[in-house]
Every structure is written in C-alpha cells, then in structure tokens.
Structure 1
Amino acid sequence: MKRKNVLRIIIVLILLLIASYFFYIYPREIYEEYNGIYYKLGDSTFSEKITVKLEGYLENSLGEGAKFTGTLQLGNQILEKSLILQSKDGIGIIRYFDKDTQDYVTYGTLYSKAIKEGFTISILGIDDNGERGSWSSGDGYMISAPASNREEALELSNQLMENELGKYEVVLD
C-alpha cells in the first residue's frame, strides 16, 4: 500500500472519531417533560399524577452510561444542581444541592434504559431527623414516567428494575 493511501485512511479515521465524539459523547442540552405517577408500594390506594421535568445537559460516555446535570423538577419539588451518573446497566443515583443544608443530598435511584424514553425512581425515605434514609420494596415511594395510572407505573418499574429486583426474587405491587 502506498504511503499516501495510508495517510488518507488515518485522516479519515481521525475525522470519524471526532465526528463520533460530537454525535455521541458531547453534552447535549435536554428539556423533557413527562406525565407520570407518584405512588407508594404496598398501598394500592395511594397514587397521584405528577409532572416530571428534566432541564440541563445529557452526556453519554463510551461503555460507561450517561450523565445528567441540571434541574430535575418532580411536581412542585425542584432539585437544583442535580447530578445523575447512570451506569451502563441503567441505574443512577440522583443527587442534588440542598439550599437549606448547603450540601449535596441523595434523593433516590433512577432506573432507565434511555432517560428520554422513560424511567422509574425509587425515592429514599426521610427519617425522624429529616435525613434521607432507606427505601423498601414493601412500602417505598416511587415515581414512574411516562405513565397514566398506577398499573402502568408498576409495570414500567418492574420492567426497568428487573435486574435489580431479580436478585431478590421480588416483584413490586
């Protein structure tokens, strides 16, 4: 092969890598609004419609998942300076800046295959001291979107949390 052809191939490969970076990895602005359901596990009478808004930047990484930075609005609750580092298996811890404590706080865990298509959130409970504590598959609070009723929300949660719940042979209801 001629030296000239090898140089052309190298240049094309470099240009493809640069284009791939901007297409896949480069942070993209995101504004998504979903209609979802806020509900409590183990209590079929508790479910409320909720609007969920994501406003910020979404960044994919090669083989490592995605990163969201921005504002996450869950109904009337606004989580500013939110950070979700989602692993390649679709699980991400939701952290946000709490103005009252001037510290970053964990809100819960997000499960999603693609955040623009839908997700479910397991919300950490709040203990007697006002601190976020734990979550239980028996009586924990959840948000699933998009969903128009509790049954759709549960179906989405079970689908997205299948790998996590399967470890313990649990089905949410």
Structure 2
Amino acid sequence: MKVKIFIVFILILGLFSTWYLIPKRYETTLDGVYYQLGNEKVFEKVKVHLDGKLQNHINGRRTFNGIVSFEGKELPKIPDEQTELLLDSRGGNFSQIYSGFKINEGIAVPSIYILGMLYTNDRFTPFSISVFNGEPRTWAPSNGFMISAPAQTREEAWRISQKLMKKFGVSIAK
C-alpha cells in the first residue's frame, strides 16, 4: 500500500513539475505612465503590450521572451524600418528592450536599436523602463525618460521606478 501511495505521489509531483516548468503564453496590456525625471510637465498615460512566453525555472526565476509594443503620443518613435521590439528577460530583473533587425528593400538585415533598459521584480509584475531618448540616445537619472507600469499617476510611476532601480544602485530624481 505504501508503495502505491509513493508512486501516486511521484506521478503527481512529476505532473506538477512539468506543468510549472513548461513556458506559458503571456499576453497582457498594462496601463502605464511615460514621464521625465526632474520635469513635472512631461507626463502621459500609455499602454504597454506584452506578447510572448513566460517561463518558471527551478531556481524560482521567471524569464520572458516576446514582443513589446507601446501606445502613446509622446513616446519616442521607433524608426519605421526597424522590426518589432523584443524583450528577452533571463530572470535577472534587468534586461534591454531592442530591435535586432531593420528591413532594407524587403530583406531583414542586422541593425540594433535599443529602446531602453527594463527593471522588474522576480514576479515580472511591476516594471520600469529607462528610455533612451534624444541624440545621442542617452539616459540620465536626473532628467531621463521613463515608462512605468502598472501606474496611473506620475507619483505612482516614480515610486515603482525608484524601488526597482534602487537594487541596482541607481538613485533617480523625482
């Protein structure tokens, strides 16, 4: 009898582990805020779309691999010839959002365009993006541009950014 219970337990554990570790489709739209540090006048509500696969790992980390898109009037425009923005987060709470190719005469050729750096937590719930803006495409903690989600107000967005970036030693202006 004990052997049967042990076998059933092992089967249940195996099924749960398989379910837990298999990548799952993750598609969501979050309300967020685009703002500039140190400048109260720059503020816009935006929508952030994530479409990809979220995977749990044995060590407790989550990874995301997929497409990111944004809706908003004031957001920096991605060059038309660039392919869609990708996010390949390997679970270190820090990653870049980029496009690796551009379309040149109907052919995809390597051309890296980086929108910015993503900061998140282990659960991949709130996140903040330091957006590279202007020419040259730079970012500074005193006057850089940010996207934070989920957030409705500039204050809420700033708190999310401050909390997530602090663990990387980045202190940002309000």
Q: 2:35 aligns with which of 28, 39, 56?
A: 39
Q: 1:96: which partner in 2?
A: 99
- Residues 82 and 171 (structure 1), Cα distance of their counterparts in 2 relative to 1, 3 Å cut: closer
Report the alpha carbon displacement of residue 99 of structure 1 after superposing the two structures with TM.
2.6
Distance of 1:61 and 1:172 partners within structure 2: 35
1:55 matched to 2:51: yes
Kept in 1, the 8 Å contact 2:69–2:85? The answer is: no
Distance of 1:81 and 1:137 partners within structure 2: 23
Task: Tell me the number of residue pairs that the alignment of Structure 1 and Structure 2 aligns.
Answer: 160
TM-score by length of 2: 0.75
What is the root-mean-square deviation in Å for CA atoms of aligned residues?
Answer: 2.8
- Residues 81 and 158 (structure 1), Cα distance of their counterparts in 2 relative to 1, 3 Å cut: closer
SS of match in other structure, 2:141: coil
- Residues 124 and 64 (structure 1), Cα distance of their counterparts in 2 relative to 1, 3 Å cut: farther
Instruction: Return the letter of the residue paired with 2:148.
Output: S
Report the alpha carbon displacement of residue 52 of structure 1 after superposing the two structures with TM.
0.8
Kept in 2, the 8 Å contact 1:69–1:81? The answer is: no
1:121 matched to 2:117: no
SS of match in other structure, 1:125: coil
Report the alpha carbon displacement of residue 153 of structure 1 after superposing the two structures with TM.
0.7
Unaligned runs of 5+ in 2: 104-108
Distance of 2:16 and 2:164 partners within structure 1: 31
Unaligned runs of 5+ in 1: none
1:153 matched to 2:157: yes
Q: 2:114 aligns with which of 103, 106, 113?
A: 106
Instruction: Return the letter of the residue paired with 1:156.
Output: I
Measured against aligned partners, the alpha-carbon deviations of 1:56-106 in whole angstroms (never above 9, x if no partner) come to 211222227333222211115687261322434x22222334434643433
Distance of 1:82 and 1:75 partners within structure 2: 16
- Residues 37 and 21 (structure 1), Cα distance of their counterparts in 2 relative to 1, 3 Å cut: same
TM-score by length of 1: 0.75
Distance of 2:6 and 2:127 partners within structure 1: 42
Q: 2:13: which partner in 1?
A: 16
Distance of 2:16 and 2:35 partners within structure 1: 43
1:71 matched to 2:32: no
> Percent of aligned pairs with the same residue?
29
- Residues 59 and 13 (structure 1), Cα distance of their counterparts in 2 relative to 1, 3 Å cut: same
